[in-house]
């Protein structure tokens, strides 16, 4: 951890007024090159800003990059995405996780195309009325794409601001206060001020310098004013309330093959992993019972006995961890799929909208 900074003699109010300018000057020298970010002096594309912000929810920049490029190549604008099928969107999204984002992404594109003539609303209020766009995302798009004088607050900005002001209240209770403090880092001016650059500067600062562990305080443009640094307590902030972990759930998954084909079905549109492809399975319950789970196996006359694979497949969702026992069976060539299910070639599984948990299940069941 860096040593505490020496005490400053200049009035805090004077230094505070200069923070936005210091931040923007640093950003002009060190801004990250990202596929959705325009070059300095160029206007941001609202479609790219929106697409990246939806993908970046709960997901890091390195993971999002390739998916963003694939989506942009397939659907270069909101009009093209709005005319796509949800199945195609889910297929291209597969592996990125948090699949409600993909459904909202498609619904939002349709709404922009049908209700707004293919142009995104340019205010926070108008953006928040669209599917899948909450307060943060609306503020981010409004600031970055349209220059509105507002400050979105993501995890990086929360960390920078909580350290800069030594916010003692833990997250998530501290969020309203952090938003108020973050807004003070916007430069004075009208709607044409560099609000988007100010927001992205704080995001870059949190990503590259004000990192969760061992922040590079000596390189920070705001280090003279950072209360946490002055105390030598950078890594104490942001303070966080203890996380509540959901109870472990268990279930069974049934990997059924017919030659080189696999039995699958689509999950209900609403709910966890809505609309995604899966192999048949039981309910996921805390009070799991193997006998009860086997009663939920697909009705297949040709299966005399299910073979349980050794071990279990584990996966962690946002609110609970999961363990799945995997059962396998092989059916004759002419076996029919039960109602609501279908056979797909194993070789084309890459084209299916399979969530990561199902990819694990299938690999385990097929012995790969």
Given the residues 42, 53, 158, 352, select the one marked as catalytic: 53
The pLDDT, as a whole number, for residue 192 is: 54
Let me know: does 213 contact 235? Beta carbons within 8 Å.
yes
Torsion of CA 135, 36, 201, 242, to 10 degrees: 50
- Region of 18 please: left (phi>0), alpha (psi -120 to 50) or beta: alpha
Ordered DSSP codes for 109-151: HHHHHHHSTT---SSHHHHHTSTT--HHHHHHHHHHHH--S--
- Pick from 129, 153, 127: nearest CA to 141: 127
The pLDDT, as a whole number, for residue 94 is: 86
pLDDT digit string (tens) for 322-364?
Answer: 999 999 999 998 889 999 999 999 998 988 889 999 999 999 9
The pLDDT, as a whole number, for residue 17 is: 67
| Residue 85 CB neighbour total at 10 angstroms | 9
- pTM, two decimals, is 0.72
- Sign of the Cα torsion 133, 135, 138, 144 reads negative
- Pick from 221, 343, 227: nearest CA to 280: 343
The pLDDT, as a whole number, for residue 319 is: 85
Cα–Cα separations (whole angstroms), residue 341 to 50, 203, 299, 337: 35, 45, 11, 6
| Residue 310 CB neighbour total at 10 angstroms | 6
Cα–Cα separations (whole angstroms), residue 339 to 265, 280, 336: 9, 12, 9
Low-confidence ranges of the chain (pLDDT < 50): 1-15
The pLDDT, as a whole number, for residue 9 is: 34
The pLDDT, as a whole number, for residue 304 is: 79
Question: Residue 330 catalytic?
Answer: no
| Residue 336 CB neighbour total at 10 angstroms | 12
pLDDT digit string (tens) for 134-180?
Answer: 999 999 999 999 999 999 999 999 999 999 999 999 999 999 999 99
Cα–Cα separations (whole angstroms), residue 169 to 165, 182, 213: 11, 15, 20
- Region of 41 please: left (phi>0), alpha (psi -120 to 50) or beta: left
Rounded Cα distance between 296 and 291, Å, is 9
CA end-to-end span of the chain, whole Å? 44
The pairing of beta strand 321-330 with beta strand 249-258: parallel
Buried b or exposed e, range 204-224, using 16+ CB within 10 angstroms = bbbbebbeeeebebeebbbbb
The pLDDT, as a whole number, for residue 97 is: 82
Name every residue whose Cβ is closer than 8 Å to that of residue 306 and which is 6 or more positions away in sequence. 254, 294, 297, 327, 328, 329
State the average pLDDT for the chain.
Answer: 90
Rounded Cα distance between 298 and 336, Å, is 12
pLDDT digit string (tens) for 208-217?
Answer: 999 999 999 9
């Amino acid at each position: 951890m860096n040593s505490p900074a020496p005490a400053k003699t200049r009035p805090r109010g004077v230094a505070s007024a200069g923070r936005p300018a210091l931040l923007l000057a640093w950003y002009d020298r060190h801004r990250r090159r990202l596929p959705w970010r325009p070059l300095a002096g160029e206007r941001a594309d609202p479609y790219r800003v929106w697409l990246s912000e939806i993908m970046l929810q709960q997901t890091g920049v390195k993971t999002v990059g390739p998916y963003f490029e694939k989506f942009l190549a397939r659907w270069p604008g909101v009009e093209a995405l709005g005319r796509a099928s949800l199945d195609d969107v889910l297929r291209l999204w597969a592996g990125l996780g948090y699949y409600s984002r993909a459904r909202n992404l498609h619904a939002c594109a349709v709404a922009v195309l049908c209700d707004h003539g293919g142009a995104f609303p340019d205010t926070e209020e108008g953006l928040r009325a669209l599917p899948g766009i909450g307060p943060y995302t609306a503020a981010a798009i409004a600031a970055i794409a349209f220059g509105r004088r507002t400050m979105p607050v993501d995890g990086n900005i929360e960390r920078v601001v909580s350290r800069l002001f030594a916010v003692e209240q833990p997250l998530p209770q501290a969020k309203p206060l952090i938003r108020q403090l973050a807004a003070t880092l916007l430069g004075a001016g009208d709607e044409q001020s560099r609000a988007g650059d100010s927001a992205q500067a704080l995001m870059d600062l949190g990503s590259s310098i004000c990192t969760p562990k061992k922040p590079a305080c000596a390189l920070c443009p705001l280090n003279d004013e950072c209360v946490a640094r002055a105390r030598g307590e950078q890594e104490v902030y942001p303070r966080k309330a203890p996380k509540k972990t959901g109870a472990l759930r268990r279930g069974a998954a049934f990997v059924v093959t017919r030659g080189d084909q696999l039995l699958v079905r689509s999950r209900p549109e609403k709910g966890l992993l809505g609309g995604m492809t899966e192999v048949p399975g039981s309910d996921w319950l805390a009070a799991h019972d193997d006998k009860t789970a086997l009663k939920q196996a697909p009705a297949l006359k040709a299966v005399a006995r299910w073979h349980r694979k050794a071990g279990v497949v584990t996966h962690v969702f946002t609110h609970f961890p999961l363990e799945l026992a995997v059962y396998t069976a092989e059916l004759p060539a002419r076996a029919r799929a039960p109602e609501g299910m279908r056979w797909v070639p194993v070789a084309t599984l890459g084209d299916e909208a399979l969530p990561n948990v199902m990819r694990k299940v299938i690999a385990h069941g097929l012995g790969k």
